Amino acid sequence: MSSSENKPEKSASNTLMSLDQLSDTIEVMTGVVNRLKRHLHQQMSLQHDSAVTRDLKQALLSNERELQELQQLARAQRLSIEASPARHPNDNAPESDTDGIAEQQAPAVERQFIIEISRFDEPDDPSERVLH
């Protein structure tokens, strides 16, 4: 009868060993799944950061273009003011810069203007505006 008693012991022992191996396998797979989750979160974070960075770069580029346009407009206005001095009605001669007479006749005109530069990522709160 010892062989029949030995079989249940062996069967129980094999079952315990199988359960231990299964437990170890589950722990290893849990670690793998957790690493994959971390990697996926990092990739998603990088993509989000990349999208935010791209949007900020586009906004900055747009603001730079707008600023350049404003500078060109201001330069053109300044040049048009400097180029059109007050002329007398009897002065039919074309302007000449050889003697500097045109510069002496035109009084220095200083025009002032205000440019507002705002950040794209901040809310538009008029109380926090700084004008220069």
Domain region containing 61: 7-86+100-128
Q: What tokens appear for 126 in the block?
A: 């008029």
Q: Are 121 and 56 in contact (CB under 8 A)?
A: yes
What's the pLDDT score for residue 90? 52
30 inside domain: yes
DSSP 127: G
The answer to whether residue 1 is domain-embedded is no
Q: When comparing pLDDT for 25 and 9, which is higher?
A: 25
Residue 48 lies in a domain: yes
Count of CB atoms within 10 A of residue 95's CB? 13
Total domain count for the chain?
A: 1
Tens-place pLDDT, residues 116-129: 666 666 655 656 65
Residue 91 lies in a domain: no
Q: Look at residue 52 and tell me if it is in a domain.
A: yes
Residues 6 or more apart whose Cβ sits within 8 Å of residue 118: 124, 129
Q: Are 102 and 95 in contact (CB under 8 A)?
A: yes
pLDDT digits (tens, 9 = 90+) for 53-75: 888 888 888 888 899 899 999 98
Residue carrying the six token digits 């330069």: 75
Q: Is the pTM of this model over 0.75?
A: no
Within a domain: 95: no
